Chains A and B, each alone.
Chain A
Amino acid sequence: MTGRIERRFAALEKENRAALVTFTMAGDPDYATAVAILKALPKAGADIIELGMPFTDPMADGPAIQAAGLRALKAGQNMKKTLAAVREFRAGDEATPLVLMGYYNPIYVYGVDTFLADAKAAGVDGLIVVDLPPEEDAELCLPALATGVNFIRLATPTTDDKRLPTVLTNTSGFVYYVSITGITGAAAPNPDNVKSAVERIKRHTKLPVCVGFGVRTAEQARAIAQGADGVVVGSALVEAVRQSLSPDAKSTAATVPGVTELVHALAQGVRSARASCR
C-alpha cells in the first residue's frame, strides 16, 4: 500500500531534506483550540503530524506532556473527540500524514476493531503506541496492518542489533528512534550519537528513520536533521501551548501563534540542515 506517509517521504527525498514531525496533544488546552493548532501546522512547516491521545497515566512521558494530557482530559477530551478532530483536519488537508500517538488502554477500551475502523475512516495514517512492544503485536499491530493503518515502532538506545530485527518486523511507515533512554522532554540528545544510531538502524531497514525525544530548538533540529530522515518535536510545542495560557489555563489569542511560530523556526532549522553540510 502506498499511503500518505510513504508519499510524503518520497517527496522529501526529492527535496533532499528531512521531515519536521510535530507532536501536539488532542484537546489541549480545549477541543477547538487544539483543532485550530492542528490545521495551522502544515502551513507553519510541519511535514508529518503526530497527535497525542491523552491518557491519565503516561508512563514514558515527562512533566510537559503529562500536563498537556491532563489539561485535555480536564477540558473533556476523549477518544471520540480525538477522532473527530482528525476528521476536521482531514476535511481540509488530504496530503499531510497524521499519526496518533499514545497508550494502549483507551484504544483497548474503545475496542480494537472499532477503533481501527473509525481511525481509518477519519483519515489516520499510522499509530504509535508506547506500551505495545513487539511481544504484544497480536493486540493492535497485526490488526492495524490488516486494516491498512501503519504501525510505527519505537527503537531506543537499548534496542541492540540482536533485537532490532524483532522491532522492525511489522513496523511500517517509519521508525521512530528515541534518542535517549528516558522520558519525553528530558535530556537533549547528542547529534553524533544519533547519527551513528540512525546509520545502525538503516543497516537493518529501508524505512525512513525519524528521531525524537529531547529536541527543543531550531539549532538542535538542524543538527539532528543532518543525519536522520525526520526530526520529532513534542515537549517544546506543548510547552509553547502552556506558556500561552491565561492564569486559569484557558487559551488566549497567543496560543495558536505561539505554537506555529516555534514550528516555523524548527522548520527553518530542518530545511537548512543539508544545504549547509553540502
Chain B
Amino acid sequence: MTVQPLNSFRIGPDEYGHFGIYGGRFVAETLMPLILELEQAYAKAKADPEFKKEMDGYLTHYVGRPSPLYFAERLTEHCGGAKIYLKREELNHTGAHKVNNVLGQILLARRMGKQRIIAETGAGMHGVATATLCARFGLECIVYMGAVDVERQKANVFRMHMLGAKVVPVESGAKTLKDAMNEALRDWVTNVGSTFYCIGTVAGPHPYPMMVRDFQSIIGRETREQMMEAEGRLPDSLIACIGGGSNAMGLFHPFLDDKDIEIYGVEAAGHGLDSGMHAASIEGGRPGVLHGNRTYLLMDDDGQITEAHSISAGLDYPGVGPEHAWLHDVGRVAFLSATDDEALRAFQLLSKLEGIIPALEPAHAIAKVLDLAPQKPKDHLMVVNLSGRGDKDLDTVARHLGSGAR
C-alpha cells in the first residue's frame, strides 16, 4: 500500500463516519436504526434548497447573524504583536455559538416528525439554546445536566425553566457533562421512537460530528468573507477553545485547506496538566471509545474513564470530537492548553480592555492569544472565536476572585 499524501483536510468523514481511526458508531443496537435514519434524513435535508432557505431565514432574523468580526484594538495594543480580531459569537441570540447547531438540529427534528427533544449540557449554553428553539417551535424539551453544573451555572438553569424546559440534574459519576451525556443516551435508548437527541458538540456517533460541524461552519465561512472585506486577505492564524470542539470546528473547517494558516485549539488545563486535574483530552489522554465514537479520552490503564476538571463547565469533559483527534494526529491543528488561573486572568483582561465579558470557555482561547500574539509581527492577522458571553460565569468568577475583585 502506498501512502497517499493528503490533498484535502476537509473530505472526512468516510461513509462509516470515520476520520482516520476516529469517529464511528459505537452505540447500542436499539439506537442503530434511528442513527441510520438520522443520517439519511440529514443527507436529504442538506441537499434540499428549502432546508437551507429555512435555516438562513432563522439565522438572520432569529439568531441575528452574521455575527461581527471585530478588530480588538486595545487587546492588540496590549499584546504588541498580531492584529487580533474577535469573532463575536457571544452576540448571537442566547449568547453563544451553540444556537447555530441547535437551529439546524431542531429544523431537522421537525422534518423527522419528532416532538420530544433531549439534550445534555455542561455550561448550560447548549441547554438554553435547545430550550429556546423548543419554545419557539412548541416542542417538549428535557435537558440533562450534571448536578455539579446545575449548581455552578444556576442562571442558565433558571433560563431553561423560564423557557419551559425540564432540567434533570444528573447525580451519577462526577455529576458533570460526561454523566449528563450518559443519562441523555439512556433516555434516548428508552424513548427512541419519539425522541430526537440534540447533541451539543462535534462528538457522539456518526453523523453527529459531521452534522454539528456543518451547522457550525457558518462561523468560519462568515469569517472568511469578513476578513476579506476588512483586510483584503485571509487571516494568518485561528484560535478557539475546545470542549467537545464545536465552536473551534465551526471556525476552523472552512480554512483547513488554506495550508499557510496556523490553527490552534485550546483545551482546559484545569489545575495544570501535571496535576492530573484537567480536561485536556488530546494533550493528556489517549485514543479510546466513549459516547459513540473513538477519540482521545482521559482514562486509566484499565480503560476506565477518569474525571475531567476545569473551572469552565463547558470544557469539563474527558473527550473531544473525533475530527479534532484526527486533525491532531495529521498535524493540521496544534493543540495547546490554558489553566484555570490563566483563563481567569484573560477573563478579567478582556472585560477591562474591550468592554466584553467573555464566557470562561473562550477565556481559555484568549489566554493563549496573550501568549501567541506578542510573538507575531504586526501584520499578522489573528482570529479568536469568542464563543460565548460571560454572564453565566459571574458567580464562579466572583467566588474565585472574591466578590470585591478588581
Binding site for B on A (CB under 8 A): 54-62, 66, 73, 78-79, 103-110, 130-136, 153-160, 163, 167, 178, 181-183, 186
Contacts and interface: CB of A to CB of B under 8 A. Distances in A.
B299 interface: yes
Given A57-B182, A66-B172, A131-B289, A182 B302 contact: no
Contact of A136 (B26, B189, B299): B26
Interface stretch (B29-37, B139-147, B238-246): B29-37
A189 B325 CA distance: 41
A159 B173 contact: no
Contact of B178 (A57, A132, A134, A157): A57
A133 B28 contact: yes
- Which among B24, B29, B185, B291 has the highest number of chain A CB atoms within 10 Å? B29
Nearest to B193: A181
> 7 tightest CB-CB pairs across the interface, nearest first?
A109-B303, A106-B303, A78-B302, A182-B190, A156-B30, A59-B185, A131-B26
B26 A153 contact: no
Nearest to B16: A135
19 contacts: A57-B291, A59-B28, A59-B185, A66-B172, A78-B304, A105-B289, A105-B290, A130-B28, A131-B26, A133-B26, A133-B32, A154-B30, A156-B30, A158-B31, A158-B34, A167-B29, A182-B30, A182-B190, A183-B190
Contacts of A159: 29, 32-33
B288 A109 contact: yes
Interface string B293-320: 0100101011111000000000000000
B107 interface: no
Nearest to A106: B303
B393 to A, nearest CB: 27
A179 to B, nearest CB: 11
Given A181-B189, A182-B190, A153 B303 contact: no
Contacts of B182: 57-59
A264 B2 CA distance: 61
Contacts of A110: 302-303
Contacts of B273: none
Contact of A55 (B32, B172, B189, B304): B304
Given A57-B182, A182-B190, A131 B172 contact: no
A66 B191 CA distance: 19
Contacts of A79: 302-303
Given A55-B304, A57-B178, A158-B34, A181 B26 contact: no
Interface in B183-219: 185-186, 189-193
B190 A186 contact: yes
Contacts of B301: 109
Given A56-B173, A182-B190, A107 B29 contact: no
The binding surface of chain B is classed by DSSP as mixed
Contact of B30 (A62, A135, A178): A178
B206 to A, nearest CB: 9
A183 B32 CA distance: 15
- Which among B30, B178, B189, B294 has the highest number of chain A CB atoms within 10 Å? B30
A61 B27 CA distance: 13
A224 to B, nearest CB: 19
Contacts of A181: 30, 189-193
A105 B24 contact: no
Nearest to B297: A105
Contacts of B278: none
A58 B292 CA distance: 12
B303 A105 contact: yes
Nearest to B24: A136
A182 B189 contact: yes
Contacts of A131: 26-28, 289, 292
Contacts of B289: 103-105, 108, 131
Contacts of A154: 28-30
B25 interface: yes
Nearest to A104: B289
B288 A108 contact: yes
A163 B32 contact: yes
Given A109-B299, A154-B28, A181-B189, A57 B33 contact: no
B303 A178 contact: no
- Which among B24, B33, B189 has the highest number of chain A CB atoms within 10 Å? B189
A57 B290 CA distance: 8
Contacts of A62: 186
A133 B304 contact: no
B288 A160 contact: no
Contacts of A61: 186
A105 B305 contact: yes
A135 B25 contact: yes
Contacts of A160: 33
Contacts of B193: 158, 181
Nearest to B192: A181
A132 B294 CA distance: 12
Contact of B186 (A59, A109, A136, A155): A59
A62 B187 CA distance: 10
Contact of A109 (B27, B173, B292, B302): B302
A135 B290 contact: no
Nearest to A155: B29
A64 B182 CA distance: 15
A194 to B, nearest CB: 15
- Which among B182, B185, B292, B303 has the highest number of chain A CB atoms within 10 Å? B303
B115 to A, nearest CB: 17
Contact of B27 (A54, A108, A133, A157): A133
A110 B299 CA distance: 12
A181 B193 CA distance: 9
Contact of A106 (B26, B191, B192, B304): B304
Nearest to A58: B182
